[in-house]
Structure 1
Amino acid sequence: MKTPAVDAHEMLDRIQDAFLALDCQGNCTYINAEASRLLSRSREEWMGRHIREMFPEASFHECYKAAMEKQQPGVYSGFFPPLQAWLYIRMHPSPDGLSIYFWDVTKEQAAMSEREGHYQSLFIHNPDAICCFDLHGNYMNANTAMEQLLGYSREELQQLSFIRLVSQGDVEKAKRHYRLAAGGTTQRYEMRVIHKDGSLVHADMINIPILVNGKVAGVYGIAKNITDRKLAEQELRKTKESLQSLVRNNADAIWIMDMEEQVVEVNETFEAMYQWSAAEVIGKELPTIPDSAKETEGEMRRRVKAGGRIVDLETIRQRRDGSLLNISATLSPILNEAGTVIGITGICRDITPRKRAEASLKARTQQLESFIENNADAILVLDLQGTILQVNPAFERIFGWRKEEMVGIHLHKLPTIPPEQEEEMKDLEASVREGHLLSGVETRRMRKDGTLLDVILTLSPIQDEKGDIDGWSASIRDITEWKKSQLLLQNTEKLSVAGQLAAGIAHEIRNPITAIKGFIQLIRSGLGEREEYFDIMVSEIERIEQILSELLLLAKPQAAKFERKDIKVLLAQVITLLDTQAILNNVEIVTQFQPGFTYISCDENQLKQVFINYIKNAIEAMPRGGRLVIQVKRLGPDQISICFIDQGVGMSEEVLAKLGQPFYTTKENGTGLGFMISKKIIENHSGEVHITSKHQHGTTIEVQLPLHQE
């Protein structure tokens, strides 16, 4: 039998890590096969050798001594020239010596060096100027772009602090942002730095904290040269100052914008015309362009940026309160000394009064041409004093008076107004003079032959270019024949409905009465079992009562008692009531209730009546059994949907079209009133019923009801 030591040595030989054991003096007492391979000598050559012969590196021995003295594990990583390899070593001390595990990490070290080379290349060749500082603001490294930005070499920068290269006016700002970055917060700001030749460079700076093991060890600085942009802005400001006097004192509204179409300046006339203050528009897009004109405005600005000029353009602009102005605008480019376009100026003149006058004249002409000459209704146009200025041909045709007989007559002497309507006409006139539009006034007017006509009267005020009332028009539509036809139609409809109800009631009640009559004759003759006859007669009488009660409910529903109820609870109670019937008919009732608020305001008994009707119909529509799905879900914030989906025989389009007619039923013992009454109950609850069905493919009834709002 092998000793435990021998077994331990065999285990150490089998592990893939290199392992050796030392005594307290540092001599090798054991080395496994992997360690022997890495150190390129046999196990016998290394046994008894001192650790210095195996690993001659001085830094390794310092780590080895510390581990032995402190009796604490140690880790060492370094390059060993005799082996031409990078080793990673872990040391575990004990009172009897030291156990050492080590690995060849040359490949990993090479990969790491390659990555560092990539990072270094990215840093050196980055097009942005990049440098890194220590926590005191001293340059530690800089890339080529930073050398070009500042004019100093990398070696020169490493001898400087960044504060020495900041313009005096920006020193405090630069210090503040640097402290914040050194505290762990990325900063972005603009400042001026001093080039080696003494010139100022405008830079857009970003300071990013350098984190090492979670702690800030320094700061990255990334800079972009924005000198050209700043100089262009300064040049634009000089141009603006040269035009300031002209802009400020001009009677027309003037605005100036840069090439990014941001407003740089507006004058006082602009503020007064458009109701926007200068502070509200400077630095933003021009707010006076309505949506309908933005595309055209964009094209015009592109032409001006290309050096063109637009003169006396008549267009629409928008004030702050949303009102529109007609303006005449001139757009011109602003050029620098080199002839380059650096901005746009606009000069706007308000021509709204002129346009209103033109529009009023055009509108009045079109109104007279369209309404007076071509309208099928009788039209009169009156001035502010009530004198008739014009009548159209339709007036002549309807009332029989010629135009020459009407023009110049005052409203109060108009022969078409019957004496009993004169006071009504004065009231209508007063309302129109106050600016009210009167539409759809039913009254009576008289023809030249004395015939009275039923008419619809519309009176409209006419406004001038200032919005003041300077006249009014009257439109008269003859509805005499229409009213006669409406009355005839109503009478016909009443007769039709009465006929349907009479035929239905007669048909439904005749059969039970015939049966009762027959049994009474049988009883009188003494034939048959009288007890059985009484039962049948009672059944027929109950059927008559059922038909009459349903008709009564349809014609005059009971006063509903509305309360706040949970629709899911009502459905559960109805399902419990009908579950036995469903089981007997091999029908499975499945509920799909969406969670959430499902309270409604309802008459509980009436809704239960509706749901019982729908569920019973669904069960009866599945004579061979099937599945009835009842769904409850929200439809928006204030409505709920209850669906009854069966797998029954369905209904054809013809049956669906007749559904709801009085006494129409597809059932052998049905009255044809159940669905009609259910629909009326839902409508009394401010709801709707929708039915979809297909023959042999089932039926879906959806009830939509309003939710109860707290």
Structure 2
Amino acid sequence: MNVNEDNLEKCRKDLEKERAFAGRLLDSVPTPMSITTLDGKIISANSRCEDFFGRSNEELGEVLLEDLYEESDEVREAFEEAKRTGFSTCEATLIDGKRAILNFSPIRDEDGSIINVIGTAQEIALERRLLFRNLPIPASLMTPEGMRIDANLACENYFKRGKEEYIGAKLEELYVREDIPKIREALEDCKRTGFASCEAMVVKGDGTKAPVIMNLTAIKDRKGDVINIIATAQDISELSELKEREEELKKEEEFAESLFKSLPISATLYTPEGDRKDVNLAREKVFGRTGEDLLTIRPEEIYREEDVAKVEESVEVCKETGFSSCEVTAIRGDGTEFPIIINRTPIKDEEGNLLGYIGTATDISELKEKERELADEKAFNDHVIDRIGEGLIIGDDRGKIVRINPAAERIIGYKADESLGINTLKHPAMTDEGKEILEDMWMRVLSGETVHSVDMPFVRKSGEKITVSATQSEIKDAEGNVIAGAFLLRDVTETKRATSEISRVLDAASNENYTEKVDLTGITGDLKVMAEDVNETMGDINTLVEEIKNSEKVLSKIIEENPVPMAIVNEDLDVLDVNETYLDLTGYSRGDMVSKNLRKDFKVVETVEGVNIKEAMERGGRAKGMNVVDTPNGRLTFIVGALPYEDISTNEKRVLMTYTDITELKEKEKEIEKEKAYTTDLLSSMPDPLCVVDMDGIRVDSNPALERITGLSREELIGKPSNLVLVEEDRPKAKKLLKKTIEEGFVTNFELTIRSKERKRIPVLADTTVRRDEDGKPIGVTLNFRDITELKEKEAQIIENSKYLQREAEKIKEAMKKASEGYISVRLKKEQEDAMGEIADNINLLLENLGR
């Protein structure tokens, strides 16, 4: 066998394994399922499919799919639709009379091409179907994946769609888009827990919308697997409509126990005597209690104490009238409370005999919350409307005034009770001209135009004629229907008069008449301030005009009397005039300056910073620079300023030159630089470490000796707190040292320990002196450190020697005592390396003499 034959044999075996696995997978599906060719011939079916049709796999393979049903054309049509759209469903009757729901979907290969069609068949019990079909609430049957496979008449009527249209519609076509994630989540919850509920907005076949509560209940087989999901849609547009739906549900005579248990509405069955008989799963879930608890528990344990009498009364009302409803607060098993509406209706047979009662409990927590939110929103809106500064009048769709705020009352002079219920156009404050304007505004609003700030006349109750600026807009309901109109008005009578007066004065100004003034009579508030500003501006302009007429004289006077040296030159830099201050400073005479050219006739020794007068004249800006010049009074340093301007009388370009003498300042700068260099050299040459700190203890300067002793560079020292170079335990002492220095002026021999970069401890004595500015105010402290490491070592040696001497003295005393008794030689320890050796020799010599 060659390699190709080996591969072929392996492929055959793999294919047989895949087919065997597919067969086992198909057979494990709890629903009758078959796989067909593209022309509808069955090629494989699971065991449940064989049981359902009563035929073996071989027998099923001999017929086409549609031949198994009475409605062969409808089945074929659904089969072809699945190949076109990806899914289809239909109902059909088997030859043996069984009724089934068929679902088809295509099987595709890796390239997306359809290679087979898979079909399922779900038998519908006739009694169950009739019961489901005639349920009084909109209900639909879905696969566990959420595919709709059936719908009852109530569902078709409510959604205003035929059964086929409803089943085939996308979820987005039946509900608003933003509710789709919520519905899918509820579907998954239902499969996990057996029940789920959510609120959604339905989109009906005619395009209208309505809010519903969707209740989903899982239907399981004997093994506990979810085989279907039943969904109901309960309209909550009006609670009365919800009660009618519930009443219709309760009147169903042949309400099966299994269907009752799976109803997604919390329900309880009662005997004719009013005793609880049964509860459904939804009831258990809503109340968080077991069915047994709900049947035996006392009313006081599931309802608030004050609501028990109301619940019992509703039972009697139901017996007497055939229906009752009440709103109470219920108590869950965990003790939490929630609001519900209880509805009760009798269950009767065809002859009208009482069989019992059915009661439902609808959780209205969300509705209550919405009521509270609506009430809060209304209170907030009322608060805003009553406090806005502009008048607001709201008229209904017939034009009658239904709301008027306090600002509108003040503007038109009529109280709310004098205006409410009156047609807007017939209101006594409305003039004939105003009516025409208002009608035109409303027609423009209805055409979609935004209409605002339209002036219109009104007559106050006092008879005073006013002008208001009006804005009008429409108010629509949720469906977009116009239900009212909002009329916003602002009294602009005073504004109109003020703006008219101001315009009159400004018109006069445009004709070069600056003597006119705004008449302030009757003008108040911000408008009066504005009018006064206009009058003040007109006065200033008039004064300025007079001053401009004499500008040349004024400028000459300013220049002449100015203490700053000044000169006026033309655009060629010819000197036209200079003031006395300039002449006194330089020693020039007026004849030496006037008519001379700045650039040609005067020598500039050094241009520190050039003055570009030409560029300043071109851009109309200032120019500044610094020059050193020789004058009759000596060499002077000036900061030169140039300000171009235009002579009003001749329209010729001029430049005002200013000369600020900084000769002495420059000399002082040189002296300061020399002093600074000297100080720097002095600091660098000092053998002891030194640093300078500011009032906050931050180093601003240091010398190389401090860098050597700490091992830190100047960059690491400057700008850092001075105490950071000290050991941790000395830092509080350093703060006290700075404070004491600032208070007393200086401190000497203050002992501290420096910690070097290598963490070496260096004992020092610090001398400090306060630094002061020219006014004597403290600005910092100078610290000088002396390294006393050697001193500390000598001190330790002296202490050690002192102890040694004390010990030797004791020995001498003992020797002296024994010497009195005879010749004794006292030998003391000699340490030739130590300075004490000589002392020991002297003591021995002394003792020898005493012995003799």
Fold similarity call, TM over 0.5: no
TM interval, short-chain normalised? 0.3 to 0.5
Q: Which has the larger radius of gyration?
A: 2
What is the TM-score when the length of structure 2 is the normalising length?
Answer: 0.31
What is the TM-score when the length of structure 1 is the normalising length?
Answer: 0.36
- Greater RCO (Cα-Cα under 8 Å, separation 6 or more): 1
